Structure 1
């Protein structure tokens, strides 16, 4: 593979990368196939390194940058690393923790942890990524703009129900954050989008936690991770005359 100058290399920075058969990894593989260098951030260094190594083995460019999205200083250091390796064109926030407990059994620490990962983490990541995206926009002559900032939401982003009070409050906060950022930064050329994942994802987490649900879903009854990733790429590729701020994805059999 020929060497490229850092300024000519498009980068996608993806946080919330964990399982190899998970959405974060699928997003990384998709953007790598589109000739992006992907920067992968997740809390478990071994998993992040393994996914980056797999992408490199397939001929892609991947950088493992493990870290906790709620660690402001750590994320700032990764942002500086991103700047050194190319031009940030897409930043994707895929972190989340689905706390599950009835309201009277839900501990304050659990509620706060859900908020810290989803809302505070989303804010810390956006504040680190946006200056890099804006710098790319200022240097770009492309009519469609230079960058995208995409957040992963859930059914809980739109409605709360037990036993997911903490998760719903956190995901609703993240959705509101995405809307605020879209209104502020869309006029500056940054496409900010929020993706509502309305249904079960056919990935490692669900298969391990609820194998019966996977069996009961039937053909295409769960969201396929590569199909979700294709929609994220579509969002990033949209021309600015017809941007989507919120996209909801669900299996054909999922009620809504």
Structure 2
């Protein structure tokens, strides 16, 4: 893996798992990191551990996202890497779902992604360089029963990524969407003893994100699918 061509990063929807692993990997390479989430208190210890800035944001609020980017600029500079890792979930039968809960889930997964990509593009276009990454899921390409709100949001985020890649890549900004096709390993969801590596290790996912950031522009990926070796296609 080559050296990263970027020195600052913003992760929106930061928390345990993928975003924490990615933040730690970036910090280890000397990248200045800003972490943003609705509940900023949960980020305090981790931010201190890796020397990151922790900031609050409601990713579905245009004014809040604008304020976040302005604050990040004042604290660490323009974020040259931006990861959108936030998503909204509400499960239930279609006939029984609360429309307002569905609206909120879609706003976080899809509309929030639009807002963050837009603010990132405003700052990266004048530079002609940078990277915008978006975390997707199996639901980005396959809608499951009882999960229509999540599928709508993730399908929308994938469309946002594809459209942004076609528009921004020719202007020097690498846009990439990651389909996380499987369960992500955690302290509360470890691999079963009889099935090692049957879930995705967030540290390994982070390495995949890093590898995309080092791709030469003659061979950029706009989408990468990651799944455990036992996952069925």
- Over the residues paired in the alignment, what is the CA RMSD in angstroms? 1.6
The structure 1 segments of at least 4 consecutive aligned residues displaced by more than 4 Å after TM superposition are: none
More helix by share: 1
Q: Residues 78-115 of structure 1, C-alpha deviation per residue, up to 9 Å, x if partnerless?
A: 11122222242210000012321121221111211121
Structure 2 match to 1:255: 232
Within the alignment, does 1:131 sit opposite 2:126 as a pair? no
Q: What secondary structure is seen at the aligned counterpart in 2 of 1:65?
A: strand
User: In structure 2, how many angstroms separate the alpha carbons of the residues matched to 1:238 and 1:170?
Assistant: 28
Structure 2 match to 1:227: 204
Q: What secondary structure is seen at the aligned counterpart in 2 of 1:100?
A: coil
Asked if the contact 1:90–1:133 (Cα under 8 Å) also holds between the matched residues in 2, the reply is no
Within the alignment, does 1:68 sit opposite 2:51 as a pair? no
Q: Residues 119-155 of structure 1, C-alpha deviation per residue, up to 9 Å, x if partnerless?
A: 1100111111112222332xxxxxxxx3110100000
Q: What secondary structure is seen at the aligned counterpart in 1 of 2:142?
A: coil
Within the alignment, does 1:172 sit opposite 2:155 as a pair? yes
User: In structure 1, how many angstroms separate the alpha carbons of the residues matched to 2:160 and 2:38?
Assistant: 23
CA deviation after TM superposition for structure 1 residue 214, in Å = 4.2
Asked if the contact 2:58–2:64 (Cα under 8 Å) also holds between the matched residues in 1, the reply is yes
User: In structure 2, how many angstroms separate the alpha carbons of the residues matched to 1:114 and 1:217?
Assistant: 35
Matches within 5 A, 1:1-256: 10-19=7-16, 22-56=17-51, 62-84=52-74, 85-137=76-128, 146-204=129-187, 207=188, 211=189, 214-215=191-192, 218-256=195-233
Structure 1: which 5+ runs fail to align?
A: 1-8, 57-61, 138-145
What is the total number of aligned residue pairs between the two structures? 227
Asked if the contact 2:184–2:199 (Cα under 8 Å) also holds between the matched residues in 1, the reply is yes
User: In structure 1, how many angstroms separate the alpha carbons of the residues matched to 2:216 and 2:165?
Assistant: 15
Asked if the contact 1:202–1:224 (Cα under 8 Å) also holds between the matched residues in 2, the reply is yes
CA deviation after TM superposition for structure 1 residue 26, in Å = 1.0
* TM-score normalised by L of structure 1: 0.84
User: In structure 1, how many angstroms separate the alpha carbons of the residues matched to 2:44 and 2:68?
Assistant: 15
User: In structure 2, how many angstroms separate the alpha carbons of the residues matched to 1:135 and 1:235?
Assistant: 22
User: In structure 1, how many angstroms separate the alpha carbons of the residues matched to 2:198 and 2:86?
Assistant: 24
Q: What secondary structure is seen at the aligned counterpart in 2 of 1:235?
A: helix
* TM-score normalised by L of structure 2: 0.92
